[in-house]
Structures are given as C-alpha cells and as structure tokens.
Amino acid sequence: MAKLNIVLYEPEIPYNTGNIGRTCVATGTRLHLIEPLGFHLTEKAIKRAGMDYWDQLDVTRYVNYEDFLEKNPGAKIYMATTKGRHVYTEVNYEPDCYIMFGKESAGIPEEILIQHPDECIRIPMIGDTRSLNLSNSAAIVLYEALRQNNFDHMRLAGELHRLHW
C-alpha cells in the first residue's frame, strides 16, 4: 500500500499548513514538519484551515533538518523548488517517498538543494511568477504521486443520489 510523505521545511503560515494537513488526511499521507515553525500548532488558524481533521493527521515534528534526516535514514526525498531541473510529472514517485516543500518566504535552502540536484522538481509557470501558494503546490505534486501509485487505497468513485422533490 502506498504511504506517501509530505515534508514542510520551516513552514511560516498556519493556514497553509492546516490546508496541507487536511489534504494529507484525505489521502492517507503522512505530514512531517521541520522546525522552527512560524506559528504554534495550537493556533486557531491552523485548526480552522485543517477543520476537524487535524486530530486524524499522522504528523511528526523535527527540531531541524538534521533531525529529520536522522529519523528517516535512506528516505527518497523529492524537493519541490522553482530551481528544479525536472518537471514534477517527469519523475517516478515511489510508494513511500517523501516530497519536501520549503518555507513560504524562501523555499528550501540552496545548500540542501545543491546536495540533491536530481531530486529537485518544479511546477511549470509562466513568466516571472515567483511561486504558487504552498498548499496548492503540495496538492498538485501529491496528487501526481498518488496517480502514479494508482490512487492505492483511495475511493475512486462517488455516487449521485437522486433528490426527491
């Protein structure tokens, strides 16, 4: 069974983290938060964005990037960045891979990206657009990884209910 992982490197905006948390719950994805965070997890904003799903979230916090690496040895990590060489649809996402996103104001530090040039992925954009919203970017890349893994363990069909007037 596919068990993907989203990693947020020093996220700053609680609404983005809350939205990503909700997406993780809806997809059975683990969320990893690398500190420092730009907010407290007890803030109303994160709970509001995550709705009533936050208590169902599989989330792990790390004191820094080194702590994350130490506790996830050998993890295959794709790094979403505007500096990526590969479009996010060009890589093959393993069922247990990690997809990392940087903080809203600065992304993933270049000293980390330089160590993993082949794992740097980007979402195509037009012109001088700096970047997309963090929660939108996470959803775009996560759903591509889920698609590549055949939406394993997910409900693929809905059901219409005829209304009686």
More confident of the two residues 103 and 40: 103
pLDDT band at 153 (very low <50, low <70, confident <90, very high): confident
Instruction: Give the pLDDT confidence score for residue 130 in this predicted structure.
Output: 84
Classify 78 as helix, strand or coil.
Answer: strand
Percent of the chain that is helix, strand, coil (3-state, to 5): 35, 20, 50
User: Looking at 48-52, 56-60, 101-105, 139-143, which range is the least confident one?
Assistant: 48-52
Which residue positions form the known binding site for S-adenosyl-L-methionine?
A: 102, 123, 131
42 falls within a domain: yes
Which residue positions form the known binding site?
A: 102, 123, 131
Instruction: Give the pLDDT confidence score for residue 150 in this predicted structure.
Output: 86
164 falls within a domain: no
More confident of the two residues 67 and 160: 67
84 falls within a domain: yes
- For residue 73, the enclosing domain spans 5-148
**Tally of structural domains, the chain:** 1
Average pLDDT on 87-106 reads 96
CATH number at residue 11: 3.40.1280.10
DSSP string, 111-162: HHHTT-GGGEEE----TT-----HHHHHHHHHHHHHHHTTTTTS--------
pLDDT band at 1 (very low <50, low <70, confident <90, very high): low
Query: What tokens were used for 33?
Result: 């938060």
